[in-house]
Every structure is written in structure tokens, then in C-alpha cells.
A and B are shown apart, each in its own frame.
Chain A
Amino acid sequence: MSFLPYAIAAWLFLAGLYGIVSSRNLIRAILSLTVVQSATYVILIAIGYTKGGQAPIFADIPQTSKAVDPVVQVLVLTDVVIEATVSAMLLALAVQAHKRFGSLDPQKLRALRD
């Protein structure tokens, strides 16, 4: 049972990759990319967890109590906000591609490139 978070992270990664590979619509591929990114969040937070640890906020608990690792939380926190804007840029690319070539299908986009 202690392997469960890592197994779920591996499952999310592979499921997201399958979604990217098998999608017929560029926007569906971008949303499956979000699932792949969330797999890394699960792994990072699971690594930093100590049994019996509390949140690293010492406003009301004494300073010497056991707390989880704060460094991985910093990484995931900034990552969540930034991947939203990167997905926005990918969506802008998809909208422009549809305006130019008339289709959101990755297969058809390759054919119309010439």
C-alpha cells in the first residue's frame, strides 16, 4: 500500500500520453497534456510527505513539531500557475492553426502544410 501514490502517478503519466497520441483534435491533446503534468505533482508531493507530519505553517503549532518537506511544495506551487499560462499559449497556437488551415485535426494539418 505504500507504493500506491507512485503507481497512480505512473498511471496518470501513461494515460495522459495515450490521450495525446490518440486524439483527433488539437485541443484534446492540450488537455491530456495537463493530465501528464499533474502526474509530476503527485510524485513530488508524495516524496515530501512524512508520516505524522503536519503542514509547514508554524503560526499555531510549536516550532519543533514534525512537518512535511516544504521545498517540494514550493516547486509544485509555482508550477501549477505557470503551466496554466503555457497551456494558454498552446491554445493560442491551436486557434491560429485553425484559422489558417481550417482544421484542428493533426493528420490534416500535416497534409496542408505545402
Chain B
Amino acid sequence: MTVLQIAALAAVALLGGGVVAASDPLRQTLMLSIYGLALTMMFFVFQAPDVALSEIVVSTVGLPVMILLALRKVRQQERERREEDP
């Protein structure tokens, strides 16, 4: 195993733990984007360019957009609920 492969695997393990350990969902979304980049590097170093292309596109744009919109809607609903019955 080359040094690059070991480094990529170590980054994936650390950032995976970071995603689980993040405190609120907004921080977790940003950690998920960076985790997707680490996974992309790992797939690339393991000679899988198709998978790397698909992972970087989905995990940096596709999924975080949906999570951020869902979080915004939840916050809006909480604000409405607080205005209804103080």
C-alpha cells in the first residue's frame, strides 16, 4: 500500500468520526461535504475515477442543498409556532 492510499484512508476515518461527533445539524452538513471530498480522494487513489466523479458531484452539491433547505424549513416552522402561542 502506498503512502497516498494510507493517508486517504486515515483522512476518511478521521472525518467520518467528525461527522458523527458534530454538535448541530448545520455543522454536520459542512463536515459531510468535506467527508465527501475525502472519500473522493480515496476512490481516486484506489483507481476508480468513475466512482470519484459521482461521489464528488453528489456529496458536495446534491445532498447538502436538500439538507440545508430542510433545516431552513424546520427553523421557519419553529418560528411560526412560537408566534402562534407565545
Contact = CB atoms under 8 A, between A and B. Distances in A.
Q: Assess A/B contact in the complex (Cβ within 8 A).
A: yes
Interface of A: 1-2, 4-5, 8, 11-12, 15-16, 18-19, 25, 27-28, 31-32, 34-35, 38, 41-42, 45-46, 49, 53-55, 57, 67-68, 73, 76-77, 80-81, 84, 87-88, 91-92, 94-95, 98-99, 102, 104
Nearest to B39: A38
A73 B73 contact: no
B19 A35 contact: yes
Given A87-B63, A95-B73, A98-B74, A35 B50 contact: no
A2 B1 contact: yes
Closest 6 CB pairs of A and B: A19-B20, A91-B70, A27-B25, A55-B47, A12-B16, A8-B13
A50 B16 CA distance: 25
A77 B13 CA distance: 21
B12 interface: yes
B42 A42 contact: yes
Interface residues of B, number: 38
Contacts of A16: 16, 20
28 contacts: A4-B9, A15-B20, A16-B16, A16-B20, A28-B25, A31-B25, A31-B28, A31-B29, A31-B67, A34-B19, A34-B63, A35-B19, A38-B12, A41-B51, A53-B47, A57-B49, A68-B48, A80-B54, A80-B55, A81-B54, A84-B58, A84-B62, A91-B66, A91-B67, A92-B70, A95-B70, A95-B73, A104-B74
A45 B71 CA distance: 33
A23 to B, nearest CB: 9
